[in-house]
Chains A and B, each alone.
Chain A
């Protein structure tokens, strides 16, 4: 039973984010602190989970992904109500009559700076439910419903084109210089953030352009999934503006942008510094793996990343733990926090792990690539190792 229930954990955090927004004031930080405290402390205390249970009801697990839709709708309505004026859909009157919850007073008590916490809470929820589940669903390239829902989930962070770039770009160019979403040795998170964001959207446009040419369509066409993706995000901004005015639209845009940086933080540490010969098979050693219990429960096994890249079409409940794969020093949310707050420290923390990777995991060709990456890294300890090569 717990093997199913654990994937509900992320929804508990999302409910905390919604409750925090509707409580207003300093409570707006509730989602943010609940998620970080829950996952960072949880991973530290509960450790690893290498279980690979068989599931008799995969459809149940599947429906847990789609549960994101109503929960995100609830979050969106709460954002629009609290950032707007008036009484959107009569929510305020309803809460007062049925729950005795005075949303009007809560909104009155919320100052603009309280929204920093609100926006960070929304960004984390967008990343966990939008980006992460959108990622899982858009890997199902032949399932129309999954692709449509997945792309709308990604559009919440202005990133519907991830459904193109990630599957047809990142998975193929993984850990090679051609992949904008693989962090290079010595690269700082904030430098990567810019390079990866720009590089991925350009790559998505180029991939889509090439596909449209192959099919005999022009770039400016209704068949263009890249342009349609941007229109989806524009539609969401417009919906927020209609529901709650400029304030709601601004809160959404800031949450979406902050949520987008979370994806890049995850991209950063998932493959930081790893190298692969272009054209050679993608192996489990080309990702940093994690079997931390809470991270995997909250992120639908995303942290079992070595298997995900070695077999991109495996469903989240089928992912193997690969305990022998190169492993991250901490759980996902912990790594994320470190990457944001102390990016240089995190980079140095990974140096001995990279040197270990070069010795224990790399093949001969990769060792040569790693040596030249070490030389260019600007990290003294890596450069020293390259000289000894």
Chain B
């Protein structure tokens, strides 16, 4: 028991699931959800990446995140009540499920390698 108190658990990557797209990826310790998503090539909308423009916001459905900045400075009360978080400021604490309202308006490849236009 003492050992568990003093020994720091080795950080493990956290699994993030994204509704309604069914995306599923790992976020390394110290990484934000947005960094991991962009590294996967996912069309996650983002602009400033410093927690200001709120373009990358998503709704937390399950699990906990650690936010690098206090989002009460930028999100509205309604958004906070609905558990919106900023992907560029969020490090998942264990498995997390989020809902992303929209994806980046860009050409993405479908299963056959054909480009399709994603909704903004």
Contact = CB atoms under 8 A, between A and B. Distances in A.
A136 B50 CA distance: 16
Contacts of B83: none
Contacts of A213: 77
B97 to A, nearest CB: 22
Nearest to A173: B52
Contact of B73 (A211, A280, A282): A211
Contacts of B116: none
B66 to A, nearest CB: 6
A168 B53 CA distance: 11
Contacts of A199: none
B77 A211 contact: no
Interface in A205-226: 207, 210-211, 213-216
B82 interface: no
Contact of B48 (A142, A215, A280): A280
Contact of A172 (B51, B66, B72): B51
B28 to A, nearest CB: 15
A142 B66 contact: yes
A315 to B, nearest CB: 10
A313 B77 CA distance: 25
A228 interface: no
A171 interface: yes
Interface string B96-117: 0000000000000000000000
Nearest to A140: B68
Place the interface of chain A in its size category. 20 to 34
A281 B46 CA distance: 9
A281 B47 contact: yes
Contacts of A168: 52, 69-70, 73-74
A9 interface: no
Contacts of B17: none
Interface residues of B, number: 19
A211 B69 CA distance: 13
B69 A281 contact: no
A171 B70 contact: no
Contacts of A214: 72, 75-77, 80
Interface string B50-89: 1111000000000000111110111111001000000000
A141 B67 CA distance: 9
Interface in B17-70: 47-53, 66-70
Between B52, B67, B75, B80, the greatest number of chain A beta carbons within 10 A of the residue's beta carbon is seen for B52
Contact of B70 (A172, A211, A279, A312): A211
A17 to B, nearest CB: 34
Interface in A278-310: 279-282
B105 to A, nearest CB: 15
A280 to B, nearest CB: 7
Contacts of B51: 172
Nearest to A225: B70
A312 B75 contact: no
A141 B72 contact: no
Given A171-B50, A172-B53, 14 more contacts: A141-B69, A141-B70, A168-B73, A168-B74, A171-B52, A172-B51, A173-B52, A207-B73, A211-B70, A279-B53, A280-B47, A281-B48, A281-B49, A281-B50
21 contacts: A141-B67, A141-B69, A142-B67, A142-B68, A168-B52, A168-B74, A171-B50, A171-B52, A172-B53, A207-B73, A214-B75, A214-B76, A215-B72, A215-B77, A279-B47, A279-B48, A280-B48, A282-B48, A282-B49, A312-B50, A313-B68
